[in-house]
Amino acid sequence: EDTEILQKFQDEKFDVMIVENFEMCGVAYSHLVRPKSLITTSASSPFSFMYEEFGIPLSLSYNPSSYMTSLAVHSMLDRAKNIY
């Protein structure tokens, strides 16, 4: 059973769990396994949806995002265009 395997992982009382944060399943799984610490890794820069998941403030007016219309932000007008 899946619950038996999960219980075995919980009984191990891992000190640390390392997961790739491109897909959030590893982070969710860490809540079930309950290690003392969680380390997330990534081969890329974080996507905008990851900021919210990890509680990192995101200001689309000047932080690069895949949803931005321009990465060359030189003025307040450029920042406003990236938000809307």
Neighbours of 49 (CB within 10 A): 11
pTM of the model: 0.56
CB 65 within 8 A of CB 48: yes
Phi, psi dihedrals of residue 82, rounded to the nearest 5°: -70, -25
pLDDT value, residue 38: 92
Distance CA 84, CA 69 (A): 9
Question: What's the confidence (pLDDT) of residue 62?
Answer: 57
pLDDT tens, residue by residue, 28-74:
889 899 999 999 888 877 777 777 777 877 766 556 566 665 566 66
Q: Please give the pLDDT value at position 42.
A: 81
pLDDT tens, position by position, 9-19: 899 999 999 99
